[in-house]
Amino acid sequence: MSDETLRFERCLPADFRRAMKRNPLVFLPLGAVEWHGEHLPVGLDSLTAHGLCLRAASRVGGLVYPPLYYGMTGSIWHHPWTILVEEEEILLKLLELTLSRLQDCGVRKALVFTGHFAKKQLALLETLERRWAEREGSGLRLSTLSISSMPDSPMAPDHGAIFETSVLFALKPNLVNLERLPSVEEQPAEDPKGNSKGAHRRDPENVLFGILGDDPRLLDATRARQLAGQLEDWLSAEALKLD
């Protein structure tokens, strides 16, 4: 199936009937709007979550809901072009409403997948799962996952650094603009004691300002595709566990 027919917002009634007959599953991708450095779009977390859900849905069936571009706040909330949510209840209400209407429409399984993994975002997923499980007679099975929790990930999850840059590169290479950063030779990362997540990266004068993790300029296309492939395999396998 092509992307087009997997995107919930583009479906006609007949598309819903066909998709739900094959697998009554909806993926809900979550992300955020936040600064990711000069080389990446602010919506990266939503874009990667959406792209990976589309890949998984093309394998196991189901549909992919439009990604949410609001995510819970973290320590970088004050960075430029960053809009994060303080109160968990705001997002919980939206998600519970969505799940409950999906259930009314005959959806039996939902997989919430977040590309944004601030501590508060992960706590939100836990609360959502707990509250959904406490509901009387819910006919929709829910699972929540974060891109940061894949077992045996070949790269440590990060913020705007090699991990996130690689995932977006594998999915949408035209959205990664490494040429917007000075070359490594010109301006190396210079991380004190090799710590790529230190306070220096929060200094707007730093070449890798707002990027927390290993230098994205060391991106390797093959490793990027392997990482995205592994994420796709994992997400597809987790979706099948809802059967």
Contact residues for Zn ion, defined by CB under 5 A: 44-45, 164
The least distance separating Zn ion from the CB of residue 196, rounded to whole angstroms, comes to: 15
Q: Are strands 109-114 and 141-146 parallel, antiparallel or unpaired?
A: parallel
The least distance separating Zn ion from the CB of residue 78, rounded to whole angstroms, comes to: 16
Tokens matching residue 189: 């990362």
Nearer to Zn ion, 44 or 54 (CB): 44
How many Cα neighbours within 13 Å face the side chain of 16? 12
Nearer to Zn ion, 32 or 60 (CB): 32
Nearer to Zn ion, 6 or 28 (CB): 28
Q: Which residues make Cβ contacts (< 8 Å) with residue 15, sequence separation at least 6?
A: 5
The least distance separating Zn ion from the CB of residue 120, rounded to whole angstroms, comes to: 14
According to DSSP, residue 34 is labeled -
Task: Decide: residue 197, CB within 10 A, 0-12 exposed, 13-18 middle, 19+ buried.
Answer: middle
**Residue whose CB is nearest to Zn ion in the complex, by number:** 45
The least distance separating Zn ion from the CB of residue 44, rounded to whole angstroms, comes to: 5
Nearer to Zn ion, 20 or 32 (CB): 32
